[in-house]
Structures are given as structure tokens and as C-alpha cells.
Structure 1
Amino acid sequence: MTGPLTGIRVLDLGQYIAGPCAAQVLGDLGAEVLKVESLRGDQARHIGPFGEAMVQAYNRDKRSIALDLRDPGGRHVLHRLLGTADVLVQNFRPGSAEQLGIDAETLRREFPRLICASVTGFGSRGPSRERPGLDIAAQAEYGLMHATGAADGEPQRVGFPVADVTAANALATGVLAALFERERSGRGAHVETSLLEAVISAQAATWGEYVLTGTAPRRKGNGQVNAAPAADVLVLTDGAIVLSAYTAEKWVALCELVGRPDMVEDPRFADNPARVRNRPEMLAALRSAFAGMTREQAITALRSAGIVCGAVRSFDEVAADADVACSNVMVDVTDRSGRRVTSPGTAFTLDGLRRTASAAAPAVGADTADVLRELGYPDEAISDLTTRRVVGAPTARPDERRAPR
């Protein structure tokens, strides 16, 4: 599968997650992605296993060219690359793009068809525009942590970099729209998003509740603030399950399933507002009814009654799940050392197909020499640039060279 973006070239100047993830989405749709790194590489390469996981997760099938953009020679190489590119993706620290002369306003004067895509922490116009952006700061400052966690516990972050990933997918969506518009107008665009906007936008339904009720969301642990039972957890003999049965019809079905039809008429549980007020008593009754059951027994019974439920699973269990296997969402690649790397791919298919990855994340500068040759640099010039540390072009052993693309 080549993908609908075949023929599109993306320059990925991103670090860590937000920028590289956005470029990865475009690459999974068929674009050629060149990862433009410093001579030391993406900063994620230097923070241990967590950083290595970022690199492998968000840099499949990219080629890497290492440039010293502080050197005029490095900026000259980038300038030549820009003449071949359709999209530039970056999540630089505030002000860095302007210092290098590769901000959107400057580039679009010379490359009017170029789509410049940027992620910041807190937007480019407000008082926090110069702050570096980190996922955890966005989760904390824009309501997500305040509403996450046990009612009597401390605020909790979401268990993955949700601000980074949400911003990355928003940026990729914006780039797709800009590419479509360019087909009609011939002009590029500057696509911007921020971790701030990503976190706020992702909480649209919660924000809607706040507007409608006038009450700010508060930590409630498992369960939803204004519905019950909804996303409530029951601990069983071999783990936990989550269930929702807050409509009148589903509540009746649940009460009948557990042999407690009296709960339907109980004034404490007679309607959804009453169940919300009396959630502890309701959950105590349900936990008593499911006592002694395994997850499989409870899930089977609940599904037979048409009640939404799910087992709370570990990553080990997810990896062995038959539905996950049938979805083909996991992709396998082999890195330069021969190690098999498995990671989730793009979360959708086109006509039932998902682009199959062929290569793991590249080493820093693994493709520098090849890319420079494609730009017309003779080998003597490449050797000179490498010696002067303007570019990074490691010499791979013959058995480590990447397959031609």
C-alpha cells in the first residue's frame, strides 16, 4: 500500500513526541518523511528507555539527515531541502525557528507552496507564548489533572502523554486540510496547534457539562460526575471490570440480572440523579451481587443483558487479545541490530488496508549522504561537510545499510 500522500515530502524537524508523531501520521499515509536532526540527534535519543520508546514509536520508515543548523553550511543544506519539500513540521522551543530563519513567515515568502506546521506548548499569541511546552504542564494547567483521580486523592495525570499525542493528530489533520486547499489555490499555509488547544479541545464534552450546569468538574475517581452507574469499577476475584447502565432501560436490566428488582423502586436509585447522589450505596449493592464472580463470568452475564462493560486489562493481556490481533493495528519492524520492534500503527484503515511499515527508526544521520547526493552534492563535498561537522553522515557497515527506497 503506497498511500494517498505518495509523492509528498515532509521535513520533520521535531523532537520528542508532538512533532515526530504528526510527521509519522503523514508518513503512514504514504508521505516520504525526512527526519532532520542535530548532529546529536533528537533529544529523545538521550533519555534512556522512555526516550528510545518515543524514537521507535514515532519514526518508522523515516530517513534521517543530521545537520548543524547553527552553521551557515547546515542552513544552506536545509534551504536546498526546503526547495524539494511540501511540508515542514517542527515543535521548536519558542523563538528558535525565528533565530534560524525558518519560521513560517520567512519560509513562505520564498516557498509559497510550502505548508509549515508547528506545535507549541501554549500558543503563539498569549502571555505564555515563550514558555517551553511539556505534556504534563498542559495536563495540569488546563483542567485535565484537576478532574482526574480519586475524589479524596491527589490529582492524577492521564497515563500516557495525551496532550502531545492529541496535538500531533490535530496538527496532522490540519496539514491534510492544507494540502487539499493547496490543490485548489496553489498556496501553502501555516498550520498551528498547541498542547493548550489539544487538551482544551479533547475535553469538549466535559466543558459542555461545565457550561450547562455551572459546576466545575471535580475528581470522582472511576465513574462519571452526572451519571450512574457509568464507568464504575467492580473488583472481582481475578481483577476488575467497568460497566455503565445509567439509562432507565439498562438500569432495570442490570437490577434484574443481579436478582435485585427491588432496587428499581428504591427511592435512592429510582432515577439517574438519585443514583449519582447515592453512588456509594449503589456500588455496595452491585459489588455484593457480583461477589465471587470472575471477570469472564461477570462480563458474559452483563453482555447477555445488553449492558456495556469491559474487563480492566494489563498490557500483557492487551497484547494477547484476539480483537487487537485481527485489527492489525500493531506493526512489526526490524531495527539495524536485527531486533524486532512492535508498536501501534495509525488508528484507521483505507479501504480496509493499513500501510505496512518496513523499517524501524533510523540512526542519527543514517541517510545524510544519500540525501545530499539526491540534492546534487558530489562525494567530495559530502566528505568535506562531514569532516567539518556541518553534517553527520555515519559510515554504515555493508550489512547495516538501509534498503533502497
Structure 2
Amino acid sequence: MNTSTAAAHAALSDTAEGAASARAAPRRLPLDGIRVVEFTHMVMGPTCGMVLADMGAEVIKVEPIDGDRTRHLLGAGAGFFPMFNRNKKSIALDLRSPAGLEVAHKLCGTADVVAENFRPGAMAKYGLDHAALSKVNPRVVYVSHKGFLPGPYQHRTALDEVVQMMGGLAYMTGRPGDPLRAGTSVNDIMGGMFGAIGALGALMQRMQTGVGQEVQSALFENNVFLVGQHMLQYAITGQAAAPMPERISAWAVYDVFTVRDGQVFLAAVSDAQWTTFCNAFGYADLLAEPAYATNNARVVARPALLATLRRRLADHTVAELSATFERHGLPFAPIARPEELFDDPHLRATGGLADIRLPDGPHAGDIAQAALFPITMAGERLGVRLHPPTLGEHTRELLQGLGYDADGIAALHAAAAVA
């Protein structure tokens, strides 16, 4: 991107006529023309690349000759590769081979962004760290995803679970004495998102300076950011935050209720909502009770109030309660499992799930649905332009783009430098 700051400002101030014209033209995504080369695996680094790819960047995933091991994980890891590697191209290189490493350096020389999430020092061993690449390509934005930002912990091996345990999140999620990790790869995913945010900021600054920079995102610091509200609660009140199952709720009606055919979360988080709730269910006695007159009063009386509500609501069905709460604009949520979201009417109606072709394993070639990045731009979701790639699916195309002819490509394959 060589756009000047003035041109960028002009682009951001389109007239209504120009905006209408742009809407009529074929859609151009915001990062169209940006090339990203990523050396990533697992979740954190691939998430960064996926965010940039979804917004239109050409993202090239550099894999080992035998492939990113994430492709073949079982159990809870089975969805990692297809979820976080859509809209990317794959090239397989042997970085231990001089010829394969040369290809990697050539690719990085064409990149606007290089992203990685390997242990400290791993990229420097191949001359693929920021210090080395920026000498050849001073415009490169280099995004490192690590366990810890530079400091006393930086050489520790970190995992999402590790930082949840040491960073207070597992304590806050589980019951007292039973720390529990969150039910998804929350730090890996958010750490990758923060890496992408940093990359976007660095690209904007490059428009002003002409020079790239290194961006670092880390699991531990991400986790600390997540629990920062609990840290400030202690700083302000002097009271340590209790684990979520035992916390003192700010609202009296804010809980999961077990009813005739399942469970449902119900809430009334203001005096107005409490009035609406009581009127909706004919609870005139509760509405008239002085002990329940204000939210704070209801919080004080919460144990007795919840016991009463659990008895009264137990004979309803989830559907009945959901319909009543929705009709009156009250917060509610049936308790769903992840697999049930494939049939969620809102996601189906709004295009929140998109077809992808599975690249590996016994279901390779089958079509599944994956959750899209949860934003719209110009009223549209950011869709799937490229299925998660098979190993080395774009190797030949990318080598040709670097100037290798047919004989050169054949020689690289013969030397097992590429696949």
C-alpha cells in the first residue's frame, strides 16, 4: 500500500453519490491488495490471519512439508484447522532446506504483513524474524503471537489453559476450590484478534511513515485484560471478586432456571424490567412486596426471592418462558449446546454460517458450516472466498508468482524443498 495520508482521508470522505456508486460496483474488501505471509499453527496465529483474510487480504499460509499438525488433531482440536484457516492459500516448504528457505525469504520480501506464533527464537534461526526481514523489506509489519510479552515470563511455554490458570480466569470461571478453564479457546482467539488489530494499526501508521514495525500479542496479557474488570473491582471496593458461580450478583433475577423440559436463563436487570416481569406472569404480590421494591433491595433478599421464583416457574416449559420474555422485551436465553447452533433460526436467516469444504481426514471433501467473523461491513457479512486449503494447494501458483519457471518448480519438488 503506497496510498498517501491525503488519499486515505479522501477515500474516507466519499460523497453520498460516490458511496452509492461504490455499492453498485462489485464489492471490494477493505484489505484487498494486502499480502500476508503467515508461519502459524494451532489457534492464536491462524486467527490473526483469518481476520485479515476475511477482510480481503491475500493470506499465504506457510506449512511444513508434512503439513500443519493442527490439520490432524483429534477431539477438541478437530475443528481448529478448518475454522481458522479459511480464505487462505497454502504453500508447503522445508525451511531446513536452503532452497525451501530461499522461497520463504522471497515470499516475505513481497509481504505487507508477516505473522508467526512459534516459540521465542524459532524464527530468528531461519532469518525470518523482524530484525532480519525488516532490513530487506522495511515496510513489513511483523506480528508475533507469544505466550508472554517481553519480561520475566517470556521464555515460558504457554497455552490457553496455562494463562487462564495463572491469570485468574480459571478461578473466576469455576466454583470455589475448583478452577475451570473457559469453554472455548478464549485467549488464543482473542490474542489472534488483538494481533490483527495491531497489524491494522501498523498498516495505517505505515501510510504516514512509509515504514513497518513489529507488533506483539500475548496470551497472558490478553487474559489479564479479560480479568481487568475484577482487578479494578478489588481496587475500588476492597473486596475480592468471587468466582462467577458464587459472585454477588448486581441483579436479583439473573440466573438459570430449571423448568419442566429443560433450562433457561432469565433476567430482569432494572426496576422497570422487574415491573414488566411481575405483570407478565401475574405476580402482583411480589410487585407489591416492600422487600422487593428496588433492585438493591431485591439483591439483598435474593435467596428467598429466587426460591420463590424457582417454585413458580418450574411448571412452565422453556418455549413458554422464552415466548413471554421475548414478547415483553425481557432478557432470556434457552441453554443451547454448540451443535444446536447449526439449526439456530437467527444464524440461518442472517447468513451467520457459511459452507466450507473440509480439507483433511476421513471427511475430506465434505461440506460443513463454519461461523463467520461476527461483523457486517456495508451491511454484509464477510464471507468465504477460499475454502480451508489442502496442503500445498497453492504452491505452484505462488512459486510462479515469485518468478520460478516450470523447471525451477520441478527442481524444488525433486529436492523435497516444497510440496
When normalised by structure 1's length, the TM-score is 0.89
Measured in 1, the distance between the counterparts of 2:290 and 2:189 equals 44
Is the 1:258–1:289 Cα contact (8 Å) retained in structure 2?
no
Measured in 2, the distance between the counterparts of 1:270 and 1:142 equals 39
1:136 corresponding residue in structure 2: 161
Residue type of the partner of 2:263?
A
Is the 1:252–1:261 Cα contact (8 Å) retained in structure 2?
no
Identify, as 1 or 2, the structure richer in helix.
Answer: 2
Instruction: Write out aligned runs for 1:302-317 (5 A).
Output: 302-317=325-340
Measured in 2, the distance between the counterparts of 1:82 and 1:230 equals 55
Residue 267 (structure 1) shift: 6.5
Task: Give the 3-state SS of the residue equivalent to 2:120 in structure 1.
Answer: coil
1:382 corresponding residue in structure 2: 409
Distance change (3 Å), C-alpha of 1:5 and 1:312: same
Is the 2:250–2:299 Cα contact (8 Å) retained in structure 1?
yes
Distance change (3 Å), C-alpha of 1:290 and 1:382: same
Picking from 299, 314, 317, the partner of 1:294 is 317
Instruction: Write out aligned runs for 1:127-276 (5 A).
Output: 127-150=152-175, 154-221=178-245, 225-229=248-252, 231-264=254-287, 266=289, 269-276=292-299
Give deviations 1:168-200, integer Å, cap 9, x for gaps.
111111111111111122111211111112222
Measured in 2, the distance between the counterparts of 1:285 and 1:50 equals 39
Is the 2:342–2:369 Cα contact (8 Å) retained in structure 1?
no
Residue 285 (structure 1) shift: 1.0
2:12 corresponding residue in structure 1: none
Give deviations 1:302-328, integer Å, cap 9, x for gaps.
233432212112234322222111221
Measured in 2, the distance between the counterparts of 1:351 and 1:72 equals 46
2:366 corresponding residue in structure 1: 339
Task: Give the 3-state SS of the residue equivalent to 1:145 in structure 2.
Answer: helix
Greater alpha carbon shift after TM alignment, 248-257 vs 226-235: 248-257
Measured in 1, the distance between the counterparts of 2:396 and 2:89 equals 11
Is the 1:334–1:359 Cα contact (8 Å) retained in structure 2?
no
Measured in 1, the distance between the counterparts of 2:379 and 2:155 equals 43
Residue type of the partner of 2:207?
E
> For this pair of structures, how many residues does the alignment match?
389
Is the 2:167–2:220 Cα contact (8 Å) retained in structure 1?
yes
Residue 234 (structure 1) shift: 0.7
Measured in 2, the distance between the counterparts of 1:144 and 1:230 equals 24
Measured in 1, the distance between the counterparts of 2:348 and 2:243 equals 35
Picking from 102, 111, 120, the partner of 2:146 is 120
Residue 268 (structure 1) shift: 5.4
Residue type of the partner of 2:154?
R
Instruction: Write out aligned runs for 1:53-64 (5 A).
Output: 53-64=79-90
Is the 1:335–1:359 Cα contact (8 Å) retained in structure 2?
no
Distance change (3 Å), C-alpha of 1:353 and 1:220: closer
Task: Give the 3-state SS of the residue equivalent to 1:282 in structure 2.
Answer: helix
Is the 1:238–1:295 Cα contact (8 Å) retained in structure 2?
yes
Measured in 2, the distance between the counterparts of 1:109 and 1:47 equals 37
Picking from 273, 277, 282, the partner of 2:305 is 282
Greater alpha carbon shift after TM alignment, 369-378 vs 250-259: 250-259
Residue type of the partner of 2:245?
G
Is the 2:31–2:52 Cα contact (8 Å) retained in structure 1?
yes
Task: Give the 3-state SS of the residue equivalent to 1:332 in structure 2.
Answer: strand
Residue 292 (structure 1) shift: 0.8
Measured in 1, the distance between the counterparts of 2:380 and 2:329 equals 31
Residue type of the partner of 2:271?
A
State the percentage of identical aligned residues.
34
Is the 2:353–2:370 Cα contact (8 Å) retained in structure 1?
yes
Is the 1:38–1:67 Cα contact (8 Å) retained in structure 2?
yes
Is the 1:120–1:132 Cα contact (8 Å) retained in structure 2?
no
CA RMSD of aligned residues (A): 2.2
Give deviations 1:317-363, integer Å, cap 9, x for gaps.
32222211122121112346531121011111111122331432112
Greater alpha carbon shift after TM alignment, 164-173 vs 357-366: 357-366
Measured in 1, the distance between the counterparts of 2:175 and 2:285 equals 30
Distance change (3 Å), C-alpha of 1:270 and 1:317: same
Matched, 1:95 2:121: yes
Residue type of the partner of 1:99?
K
Give deviations 1:220-277, integer Å, cap 9, x for gaps.
428x634123541111112111122132222333334444444456565454444444
Matched, 1:42 2:68: yes
Is the 1:341–1:360 Cα contact (8 Å) retained in structure 2?
no
Is the 2:64–2:92 Cα contact (8 Å) retained in structure 1?
yes
Picking from 388, 391, 400, the partner of 1:364 is 391
Distance change (3 Å), C-alpha of 1:353 and 1:258: closer
